[in-house]
Chain A
């Protein structure tokens, strides 16, 4: 890679701040070149407990996928194998099919809209399908938050000797209006969520998560001033947890399932609406409520007009924080709870508005 060190030694001139004694090491004498291969440790390999393949086989959790298909198993069976490493019962498989049908399509909701917007810029279908998955955040598709919260509440109830109803009441007291509760006003007239629970009971696959969600519904109905009932998040989340899926698995299975629907929306958008060009779409002034139009100051007046953001005391900081909240789009009105996301995702709320 060339050896600049000799040249550097001759050229004692320090670049910028790179001679500062506070730096962790001597920047003038840093080595060039890449790190040597590490022969002391095992070489890198793709480590997986999910699947492997060779020239002749593709194997997931120990089962050859072609043999699975030839034995009459199908897509939804493979989901159980892939995520849970087990062959499901016929009833569990029927229930998963039921849940996935209801997750397939939701009209012109966020995943479909995102897919259509991406479609309009003339992309591959797969880009639009992938984008639709990104719609599943902690409000629209709060399956991870819903499920992890249930697991934590049930664990705590067991440790504290609480009944299911007491645990539900404690959860409702803390999270009644939370988007991940699984209980809301969204399904008061649509029976689909309640029918899902009834089907799970009929198939004999309903378990503690459906029971707990029903207890949450009861507690929420008692605590709420307005009518509420189980919604699709609660019905889907609880049913899939009773089928043995983890909160993260549910989150991804539902998001991917909706992505087929988003693919149909991609196709229809292209077929019926065509493409959008750079600069094509206007934003009417009537939608704008930012600062009034103002002349751009000349560069020579810049120092007179510019107000640096630097703050030197906590009191100044407090004043500045409040002032900055007034400008939408600056980000100061959003506070996110900080947590270590390395093992779980979605157990805390994100983007909470003050």
Chain B
């Protein structure tokens, strides 16, 4: 069998020969034999370095916190995909791919922090001053401040503040932690001034600050977070696959199923007659002319 790569790329991540697999210069088998943890290896993968013990502990805390979040868009996707009974990886992949602009927007939050910390450096402002500018920029523009708020944990994400505290306990807190804390302070103060309800920090705000202080670039941090969720998406998918009904629509189940016909609430155009081909030209022209269809275009 051919052992040539599918296509060639210059890479500084890893190489593999018949004798060994080497990640950033370290033989993977030797790394495992030496007793390093999987989280240590994540540092080697993304940063090419062995982390300090406290850094490894912080990453394990962060990844362990993020792994399971019960019914969130990612788990929902994985469960829905299993209804058609594809191969299991399809459901797991769908779960990971659910992480977009509003579900664990790790990279965007990281880039936001880098942008404003960079401005503080260039403009000679303190992190606290720049955090206020960030909050005002976003709130003046009526945009949500990334890292704040979670629709299910309305009184504050239960994982978020403990992550901040663990960072402080392990002394891995740096410029990102300080900046994120300042963002939260100014965010809370402005909402209070404006008579708005309390909105707590979420796991992206706290977790991404922690990951950034551990040296992970925005996309690397996003990968660490969203891929960790992939494990629990797999558990939810396997549960649905092994103990649930395929199609998720059976009327024989004692509980109405996710895709039961009665779950459909239709709010589209009223029922209408299908025009014959003889009627088509006149019908289509009139329909386009009236423009009523435009309110349904998405």
Q: Is B65's CB under 8 angstroms from A66's CB? A: yes
Chain B residues with Cβ below 8 Å from A42 are 254-256
> Which residue of B is nearest A81, CB measured?
B68
Given A69-B166, A110-B6, A125-B223: A253 and B234 within 8 A (CB)? yes
Q: Is B261's CB under 8 angstroms from A251's CB? A: no
A46 within 8 Å of B by Cβ?
Answer: yes
Q: How far is the CB of A123 from chain B (nearest CB, A)?
A: 9
Chain A residues with Cβ below 8 Å from B219 are 125, 263, 266-267
The 8 A CB mask of A103-146 against B (1 = contact, 0 = none) is 01111111001001000000011110111011011100100100
Q: Is A60's CB under 8 angstroms from B257's CB? A: no
Q: Is A53's CB under 8 angstroms from B227's CB? A: no
Q: Is A66's CB under 8 angstroms from B158's CB? A: yes
B287 within 8 Å of A by Cβ?
Answer: no
A56 within 8 Å of B by Cβ?
Answer: yes
Q: Is A78's CB under 8 angstroms from B68's CB? A: yes
Chain A residues with Cβ below 8 Å from B18 are 188-190
Within 8 A of B (CB), among A140-199: 141, 144, 188-192, 195-196, 199
A/B pair count, beta carbons within 8 Å: 345
Q: Is B71's CB under 8 angstroms from A56's CB? A: no
Given A78-B68, A253-B234: A55 and B154 within 8 A (CB)? yes
Q: Is B89's CB under 8 angstroms from A75's CB? A: no
Chain B residues with Cβ below 8 Å from A38 are 256, 260, 262
Q: Is A261's CB under 8 angstroms from B89's CB? A: no
Cα–Cα distance between A104 and B8 once the two chains are bound (Å): 20
Q: Is A131's CB under 8 angstroms from B13's CB? A: no
Interface-side segment among A1-9, A302-310, A318-326, A330-338? A1-9
| Chain A interface size range | 35 or more
Q: Is A48's CB under 8 angstroms from B236's CB? A: yes
Chain B residues with Cβ below 8 Å from A69 are 61, 64-65, 162, 166
A265 within 8 Å of B by Cβ?
Answer: yes
> Which residue of A is nearest B35, CB measured?
A94
Within 8 A of A (CB), among B1-49: 5-21, 23, 28-29, 31-33, 35-42, 45-46
The 7 closest A-B pairs by CB, nearest first: A263-B223, A74-B60, A252-B234, A107-B16, A2-B270, A130-B97, A130-B93
5 contacts between A and B (CB under 8 A): A34-B266, A69-B65, A75-B64, A76-B38, A267-B219
Knowing that A44-B260, A129-B227, A248-B238 are A-B contacts, what are 4 other residue pairs whose CB atoms are under 8 Å apart, sorted by A's residue number?
Answer: A38-B256, A46-B71, A52-B71, A268-B13
* Residues of A bordering B, CB below 8 Å: 1-4, 7, 11, 15, 32-38, 41-53, 55-60, 65-66, 68-70, 73-79, 82-83, 94, 96-102, 104-110, 113, 116, 124-127, 129-131, 133-134, 136-138, 141, 144, 188-192, 195-196, 199, 246, 248-249, 251-253, 255-257, 259-261, 263-269, 272-273, 341-346
